Structure 1
Amino acid sequence: MLGLVLILTETSTAYGARDFNKVGHTPCGAKCGRKHSAVLTDFGGVGDGKTSNTKAFKAAIDHLSQFASDGGAELIVPPGKWLTGSFNLTSHFTLFLHKDAVILGSQDESEWPLVALLPSYGKGRDAPNARFSSLIYGTNLTDVVITGNNGTIDGQGAPWWTKFRAGQLNATRPYMIEILHSDQIQIFNLTLINSPSWFVHPIYSSNIIVKGLTIVAPVTSPNTDGIDPDSCTNMLIEDCFIVSGDDCVAVKSGWGQYGIKLGKPTKQLVIRRLTCISPDSATIALGSEMSGGIQDVRIEDITALSTQSGIRIKTGRGRGGYVKDIFARRMTLKTMKYAFWMTGNYGSHPDPGFDPKALPVIDRINYRDVVAENVTYSARLDGIAGDTFKGICISNATITLTETPKKLQWNCTNVEGVTSNVTPKACDLLPEKQGKFDCPFPKARLPIESVPLKACSFN
């Protein structure tokens, strides 16, 4: 058995000399409930921060994939700086980062292959006809864990941000982690920094846990969303700290006519114990790509600091889809532009082929137990003419204002609903409900809340 001491002291040459036919049959170091295990250096990995390990990751995962039906396998990334381009995961597999391990995203575009456009988007976000594979990528997988004892993945995104701003990219920037068409995914106990674009993007997937992540990018970096559940079902996000140049959590389900056609909603989503810093974006955004629908989202115990808004609904004509059955409680918001924000005129579209008559349905939006401090606007709630946002409920919300607040605190158009015990008093379109009243929050738990983590530990 290889213990932690062996991992720290054996050289790359010694690892490289081991019999590859035996790799995977001896558990080494971390214990993640997998029958087979290997270390990246078994496959020629060099942790000097300069040598490319793309081939080493590929060789290791290709080898370990043979054990998917025999108890699964884990790949340990030991202490060091492991430069790599994009690599694909396999099923019944754990990627484990030692606390002193850093995976570095390559700055060589040739190490980032192109992958297919997403069917619910139809176009790339940065460039219409192509997109780069994510740093850690997988499709059609079952039972995948990405974890560590707070090891780090550094996307080294600055050159990508520069090229994006200069219009020099011919494909959409890579995400840090993207998992497609997969089931039983767990991502936890990691530090993620400086992604080229979005950090964590599960899409068309189910039964997902994202927990205990520290996600950090400069607040000026473009489109560095923290976690983006996209056309996913039964997902839990909890105990995460995010500093971002875009929305900390952005709930999505496809873009315009492409999302409408695919029709895969995001539903049964829990977001709790989230701390967010994002001066120009939302703590949690619902949309703007919501054309497949968003339903049954439970949000609780949220802290936002120096962030543009709390929960923001983003949609517009041509989006179609729906955002409904949204429940939020116990939010603490400090130094905000908007405590509550709904946008019905979000105008970006994948191409001119969108249908302006495809109107979104916004209904049963519930916020309760909110304390907001140093706020410029209490609310800006803009529905769509002829497509009123309905069923808005806000209760027990106390908002204190900045020294220079806007005179019109509640700016409301094309919305309807009720409020209770809200200060400052809401707009006339959200009248005060008489008597003691709390907006609803579901009592029954979702299935994902009962799924245990596949926790790992070193011997």
Structure 2
Amino acid sequence: MTERMNASPRRTFLKTMLQAGAAATFTSPVFALEKKAHTTPVTAAPSVQLNVRDFGAIGDGITLETESLQRTIDRCGVLGGGEVIIPAGRYLTGSVSLRTKVTLRLAAECVILGSPDLAHYAVSQVRWEGKWIPGYLGLIHALDARKIAVLGPGSIEGNVAVAGRPTKENPLRRPALIEFLYCDDVHLEGFSTSYAHMWSIHPTCCDNLVFRNLTVRSTLTNGDGIDIDSCRHVLIDTCDIASGDDCISLKSGRGEEAYQLARPTEDVRIVNCTLEGRGFACIGIGSETSAGIRRVLIEGCRVTSVYKFAVYIKSRVGRGAFIEDLTVRDMSAAKMRMGFLKISQTSAGVQDENPVPGLDGLPLFRNISFLRIHVDDAPVLVEAKEISADKLLDGLTLDGFTGTCAKGLELANITHATLRGIAVSGFTGPLLRIDNVTGKGLQGAEKLPPRGRTELVATPAVPYKLH
């Protein structure tokens, strides 16, 4: 698929960001990802080291510390960068903004506490369910910054009073806990977070991200752990995430807006993570995919329990773009309420008010591989039948599945499928049911009822234009 040109320069977008007064595909994606070195340094040796206590911070958990924290960060930034030290204590704050070449170091027994008052959070254009809308920025955030870091071992605690979904009375998107917009070279390591009813970590349109050794607790509905949104060159390494929605979500926007902006999520590695999905999936690929998702490697991860599917690859008619070159290997999964893997190309997620019309609006799925997977008592092993005959899933490899499941595999509208080493037990009925599937390892499959034709989005009388 030919990559479309980005229609909205970053600098033009950022001129209107902060509201005044408000506080060519690789043939082997795995090889390509492994050759890409994620060696982003934590930071260079800091040129200065500033302590927030020297700038008026108290750390009693009662005094609002926003001004003192921001003053320290700003001072560090204008001196050329370095470390801002937050010692032991409890620091109540509204949103604070990191600056280029500044590292925020949270000492042991340091707790950053989010204010319960939305008036203490800055307002900007932010992404919400795949669309740019006005909203509150994250408690810790950065705009167009580079070489920034937040390091532990302290913790960051959001306030549920400011979480949740936008309302008619207050249509602004609620603040994420940690959020980066158009940043480059971001490193988060060694701290813990807690929040509820809203996303914990949300980078958007960023490059070169490393998230390592994080403990993320983002419980209750809408509580995603880490949302990677139109970002490139990402490493999520050895993180422990318990989420009220998706533990890790990869996305790239929704509808014609994101399709025309054409900023995919690409070159992502998720390794050695422990995941507990209390509300939806442990790893969600989509459904906001209108700029595409490609070159993703997930390996060595463990799903301890999940409310729906351990891995859910999803999009819908009207999204357009692609999900391609995805490899999941050496994963184990237990305590699944619905199953291990679901793939839905046509019907996941809400329809956009400006969907991508015609056959272009039907997403392309290709080159998806699952290797060496172990499941314990999966209700369903693989469900991949919400796929259109108008645009087949091209290339699905399922190789080396072990463990137990109640139901096997159901596949529809797939070409170049490869099934081998499916050595599961405990299921009733046929292990494999298919419709319009070609490839290897399909012997003995029973027939699924044929799928109906896919209704595409009609072309509007007036073509969509970014506005």
Give the TM-score taking structure 1 as reference length: 0.80
Distance in structure 2 (CA, Å) of the matches to 1:366 and 1:166: 40
**Structure 1 residues 78-102: Cα deviation after superposition (integer angstroms, max 9, x where no partner):** 1111011111110011000011000
SS state at 2:62 partner? strand
Q: Which residue of 2 aligns with 1:339?
A: 340
2:357 to 346, 355, 358: 355
Please tell me the residue identity of whatever aligns with 2:243: S
Q: CA deviation at 1:355?
A: 2.9
Q: CA deviation at 1:122?
A: 3.4
Distance in structure 1 (CA, Å) of the matches to 2:341 and 2:129: 28
1:374 to 372, 377, 394: 377
SS state at 2:84 partner? strand
Please tell me the residue identity of whatever aligns with 1:426: L
1:222 aligned onto 2:230: no
Is the contact made by 1:277 and 1:283 (CA closer than 8 Å) also made in structure 2? yes
Distance in structure 1 (CA, Å) of the matches to 2:128 and 2:312: 25
Q: Which residue of 2 aligns with 1:388?
A: 392
1:102 aligned onto 2:111: yes
Is the contact made by 1:120 and 1:262 (CA closer than 8 Å) also made in structure 2? no
Give the TM-score taking structure 2 as reference length: 0.78
1:268 aligned onto 2:267: yes
Q: Which residue of 2 aligns with 1:325?
A: 325
1:379 to 1:119, Cα distance in 2 relative to 1, 3 A: closer
1:157 aligned onto 2:156: no
Is the contact made by 1:37 and 1:76 (CA closer than 8 Å) also made in structure 2? yes
1:423 aligned onto 2:423: yes
Q: CA deviation at 1:113?
A: 2.1
Q: Percent same amino acid among aligned pairs?
A: 27
Distance in structure 2 (CA, Å) of the matches to 1:434 and 1:359: 26
Q: Which residue of 2 aligns with 1:457?
A: none
Q: CA deviation at 1:430?
A: 6.8
Q: CA deviation at 1:433?
A: 3.1
Q: CA deviation at 1:415?
A: 2.9
Please tell me the residue identity of whatever aligns with 2:150: I
After TM superposition, the structure 1 = structure 2 runs for residues 244-283 of structure 1, keeping only pairs within 5 Å, are 244-283=243-282
**Structure 1 residues 115-134: Cα deviation after superposition (integer angstroms, max 9, x where no partner):** 1144994344xxxxx21111
Q: CA deviation at 1:104?
A: 0.6
SS state at 1:179 partner? strand
**Structure 1 residues 304-357: Cα deviation after superposition (integer angstroms, max 9, x where no partner):** 011122221110001111111111110000111211111221141342555364
SS state at 2:259 partner? helix
1:245 to 1:356, Cα distance in 2 relative to 1, 3 A: farther
Q: Which residue of 2 aligns with 1:145?
A: 149
Please tell me the residue identity of whatever aligns with 1:361: L
SS state at 2:214 partner? strand
1:136 to 133, 140, 145: 140
Q: CA deviation at 1:380?
A: 1.3
Q: CA deviation at 1:276?
A: 0.5
Q: CA deviation at 1:194?
A: 0.9
Distance in structure 1 (CA, Å) of the matches to 2:73 and 2:333: 43
Q: CA deviation at 1:114?
A: 1.4
Distance in structure 2 (CA, Å) of the matches to 1:200 and 1:120: 14
Please tell me the residue identity of whatever aligns with 1:349: Q
Q: Which residue of 1 aligns with 2:447?
A: none
Which runs of 5 or more residues in structure 2 are unaligned? 1-42, 425-430, 444-467
Q: CA deviation at 1:197?
A: 1.4
Q: CA deviation at 1:157?
A: 2.2
Please tell me the residue identity of whatever aligns with 1:288: S
SS state at 2:230 partner? coil
1:90 aligned onto 2:102: no
1:306 to 1:118, Cα distance in 2 relative to 1, 3 A: closer
Distance in structure 1 (CA, Å) of the matches to 2:179 and 2:392: 35
1:45 to 34, 44, 57: 57
1:200 to 1:286, Cα distance in 2 relative to 1, 3 A: same
1:412 to 1:216, Cα distance in 2 relative to 1, 3 A: same
Q: Which residue of 1 aligns with 2:173?
A: 172
Distance in structure 2 (CA, Å) of the matches to 1:119 and 1:264: 16
SS state at 1:145 partner? strand
Please tell me the residue identity of whatever aligns with 1:433: G
Please tell me the residue identity of whatever aligns with 1:251: L
**RMSD after superposition:** 2.3
Which runs of 5 or more residues in structure 1 are unaligned? 1-30, 125-129, 436-459
Please tell me the residue identity of whatever aligns with 2:53: T
**More displaced 10-residue stretch of structure 1: 225-234 or 359-368:** 225-234
Distance in structure 2 (CA, Å) of the matches to 1:385 and 1:279: 34
Distance in structure 1 (CA, Å) of the matches to 2:166 and 2:172: 13
Distance in structure 2 (CA, Å) of the matches to 1:319 and 1:159: 30
1:117 to 1:159, Cα distance in 2 relative to 1, 3 A: closer
1:430 to 1:225, Cα distance in 2 relative to 1, 3 A: farther
Q: CA deviation at 1:207?
A: 1.2
Please tell me the residue identity of whatever aligns with 2:353: D
1:47 to 1:350, Cα distance in 2 relative to 1, 3 A: farther
Is the contact made by 1:316 and 1:384 (CA closer than 8 Å) also made in structure 2? no
Please tell me the residue identity of whatever aligns with 1:110: A
Please tell me the residue identity of whatever aligns with 1:366: S
1:187 aligned onto 2:188: yes
1:380 to 1:368, Cα distance in 2 relative to 1, 3 A: same
Q: CA deviation at 1:374?
A: 1.4
Distance in structure 2 (CA, Å) of the matches to 1:87 and 1:48: 18
Distance in structure 1 (CA, Å) of the matches to 2:387 and 2:300: 27
1:200 to 1:117, Cα distance in 2 relative to 1, 3 A: closer
Is the contact made by 2:255 and 2:354 (CA closer than 8 Å) also made in structure 1? no
SS state at 2:71 partner? helix
Q: CA deviation at 1:182?
A: 1.5
1:306 to 1:117, Cα distance in 2 relative to 1, 3 A: closer
Q: CA deviation at 1:32?
A: 7.1
Is the contact made by 1:103 and 1:153 (CA closer than 8 Å) also made in structure 2? yes
Please tell me the residue identity of whatever aligns with 2:311: I
SS state at 1:348 partner? coil
Distance in structure 2 (CA, Å) of the matches to 1:215 and 1:302: 15
SS state at 1:59 partner? helix
Q: Which residue of 2 aligns with 1:127?
A: none
